[in-house]
Structures are given as C-alpha cells and as structure tokens.
Amino acid sequence: MPTARESATVLDGKALAKQIEQQLSTRVDAIKAKTGRTPSLATILVGDDPASATYVRMKGNACKRIGIDSIRVELPTETTTEQLKAKIDELNNDPDVHGILLQHPVPAQIDERACFEQIDIAKDVDGVTSLGFGRMSMQQPAYGSCTPQGIMHILNHYEIELAGKEAVVVGRSPILGKPMAMMLLNANCTVTICHSRTQDLAAHIRRADIVVGAVGVPELIKAEWIKEGAVVIDAGFHPREGGGVGDIEMEGIAQKASAYTPVPGGVGPMTINTLIRQTVEAAEKSAGLNADNKS
C-alpha cells in the first residue's frame, strides 16, 4: 500500500454516487418498460426536526434524478408508536411502494426499534430491521444499512485491499457501527469495535490499517493517532460555520493516510445513493426482473 507522501487517494463519494445514478436511471427505465409502473420510495417523517426534513428532501431529490417516485409521509410530533406502526403497515401492503424509509430520529415517545421492525423485510431498503442485520451478518441476501453499505461500495470501487487488514470501527450504533463491523468482518478484515467505554482509544487507532469514524462526536479521533498508510473513513458530519467536520480530525490526514474520505463529499452522498439503489433493486425483484438484493 503506497504511503500518503507519495499520493493520498481521495475517496470521492460524490463522484461515485453520480456515476451510479446514471446506471440506476437505465435500470428504472427498464422497470417502467416492463411493468408500466414507476418504482417508489416512501419516506416517513415524524415531527418537525429541521435536520431530518433536510435529509428527507435530499433523498426525494435523489429519487427525482433517476426517475423514481418519492412518496412523502409526514406525521405530527405527537404520533404514537401504534399510529406509526399502522402507517407502516399501510405502506407494507401497498404494491405501489417498493421501499420504506423511517427517518431517524423519531420523537421520544415512540418506540423507534419497534417501528423499524414493523417494516416488511422486502421493503427494508434502509437496512434497519433486526432480520435484515442478521441476514447480512450471515452473508444471506439482505439490504444492508445504507451508510456502511455505501462505505463498502467506496472501498470496493477504489480497490482498497481488505482481506487480512486490521480494521477499527469507532461506534456501535445498530444502523452504522455494528453493521459496518460485520461487513468488514465478512470482507475478511480483523475487526475491533471501539465505543464510549473503550480504554486507550488512541492505541487501538494507531494499529489500524482501516479506521472508520462512526461515533457521532466531532473530531474525536485525532490525526496524530492515524497509522502511516492507513485508510481513513469518516462517517460523521457536524455542521460548522463555513462547512462542517466529521468524527476524525482531518488536518494532516492527507500527509499520513494512503486514502481518505473527505468531509463533506465522501460517505454522505453514498449513503443516499445506496438507499436509492436498494429501492431500485426492490422494484426489480417485485417486477420479476433479474435482481440480486444481496447488496
């Protein structure tokens, strides 16, 4: 693996997402030609969180770019768990809906996990159900959680060698850290998961060939901890005046890493792209086209 002093590779998720969108548009046209129906993604937004509304809008725009329908479902802040589950069931039973996204987070009174589990596995294009996680972990067909699945697409596209490498994932959330660790394990990495109770985080980072920041704390992982020639993946984004920062301190990373994802423009675009791609796969499967939903 070349060192960054020779040439650090910028893992450009934005450019890769744009390239994949062109391929998805062709696949959507084929679905429409065969079935006369347009693939659709239902997005459920509960409450009025402005960041969540922005994310839902970005996902809707991505749908529009490749020609699939975005069905926007907006529910009031006071929605109960049972009301939300009933709405999910409506979408599960609607043959015109191919994918369902429940935007995270939901208001505190709602049992988010119970609502995630209500999503039909065939429509779980965001990869949030326990069944989907279990199938993915056991290398069975499933739609992967979108952020880690998007990261795997980046690593594969740039031909980053994974087998036998030491990977450290910082974060253990059910839709990012845990599935990321399992995907890397399935790619034959030796994986360490670090979290808030980890002792001497720096020591774990220093030995890692691949570092994934997925903890949700601005610049928690310091550039000086990064091993020479490591691959650095930052799945975090924290708005700052004039832009934003990730979970990893980026100043100096280009001089140490062999490859790294920029913030923004690295992981984020591939998260949304994976959601849209998996919706297209679900529509293909529903239409009886030759689709493989093992992402």
Q: Any idea which residues carry the catalytic annotation?
A: 59, 103, 126
Pairing relationship of beta strands 259-260 and 231-234 according to DSSP bridges: parallel
HEC readout, 72-136: EEEECCCCCHHHHHHHHHHHHCCCCCCEEEECCCCCCCCCHHHHHHCCCHHHCCCCCCHHHHHHH
Q: How many helices (H) and strands (E) does the chain have?
A: 10, 11
DSSP secondary-structure letter at 290? Answer: S
Residue 129 CA to residue 114 CA, distance in Å, equals: 9
Buried b (16+ CB within 10 A) or exposed e, 189-206: bebbbbeeeeeebeebbe
**Is the separation of the CB atoms in 177 and 222 below 8 Å?**
no
User: Hey, what amino acid is at 181?
Assistant: A
CB count, 10 Å around CB of 76?
10
